[in-house]
Amino acid sequence: MSAPTVRRRRLGAKLRALRGGRTLDEVAEKSGGRFVSSKLSRIETAKSAAKAKDIEDLLDLYAKLGEDVSDELSAALVTLTKEGGQRGWWHSYRGVLTPVYEDLISLEAEAESVSSWQLGVIPGLLQTADYAREIIRATAMSEAVEARVDALVEVRLARQSVLTRDDPLTLWAIIAEQSLRSTAKVDGLMNEQLGRLLAMGKRPNVNIQVLPVDAPLHVGQLGSFTILGFGSHADLDVVHTEGLTSALYVEDRDKVAAHRDAWQRLSAAALSVDGSAELITEIRKSS
């Protein structure tokens, strides 16, 4: 993924559907030189932003080729095109964020749901400022990251607004118990962080489950991952995985489905939401 917004991905998906069984070369040929296949490919894969005039011309072409392009559909896709170039709040941190991190924030901003499995840390959307600062410092593998810790903490906290906005994102987080039992140099850090989990878990759009340390061997031991869901636009669902020095997005529908199945297995193996809150409370009392 090369920093496309969700709107651009949605536009590309709709255009691929309208193209039907035609190849990009066939569409380019039918356009009489107006388009080349490489440009069409970049638009469909959201690797470059389209201009409204390009989309209008492409929709006119598809209509002439017999596709069902209503005035309503045309207006909606042109609107998507114009909105796809809009800048989010995170663009003010351009010098701090990697393109991959910008992608994640953009996806979170427009997703309807996030299903997260975390093996070693508290999910970023649920972190306190102190916990975020310590975990960023602990996992920094370059001087560049160490130099912008405060800015990265600001970004992480700003991301959390998706949980409290008027139309909030639904978060279902499964967290390994060992993440809750971490120790920190800052006094009271974990006590505050666990309190944050308990408070957020009371929100109707947030569910938190804990996978206990004595659970049988499970698929989650292969690593953490997050599924970003887009409701009726399920073809836009994407999986985000993160390693020590890189992150990866998985968009292939079969692979996304495999991750969703893995997440459901983890949810079935974890404690219930109420049981998880009880365990978090118990751990917090001893922290």
CATH for 216: 3.30.870.10
Convert the pLDDT of each residue in 188-211 to its tens digit: 999 999 999 999 999 999 999 999
The reply to whether 169 falls in a domain is: yes
31/99 same-domain check:
no
The reply to whether 1 falls in a domain is: no
Q: Is the pLDDT of residue 172 over 60?
A: yes
Distance CA 58, CA 135 (A): 48
173/114 same-domain check:
yes
Three-state SS annotation for 143-169? HHHHCCHHHHHHHHHHHHHHHCCCCCC
The reply to whether 145 falls in a domain is: no
Q: Answer with the one of 31, 56, 83 that is the final residue of a domain.
A: 83
212/268 same-domain check:
yes
User: Both tokens of residue 1?
Assistant: 């993924």
Terminal CA-CA length for the chain: 41
Convert the pLDDT of each residue in 233-259 to its tens digit: 787 789 999 888 788 888 888 999 999
The reply to whether 40 falls in a domain is: yes
The reply to whether 150 falls in a domain is: no
250/275 same-domain check:
yes
Domain limits for position 270 = 91-126+160-286
The mean of the pLDDT values for the chain is 91
Helices and strands of the chain, counted as H and E runs: 13, 6
76/185 same-domain check:
no
Under a CB-based contact definition with an 8 Å cutoff, are residues 175 and 123 in contact? Answer: yes
Task: Say how many domains are in the chain.
Answer: 2
230/253 same-domain check:
yes
- Percent of the chain beyond pLDDT 90? 63
User: Both tokens of residue 279?
Assistant: 């365990």
The reply to whether 164 falls in a domain is: yes
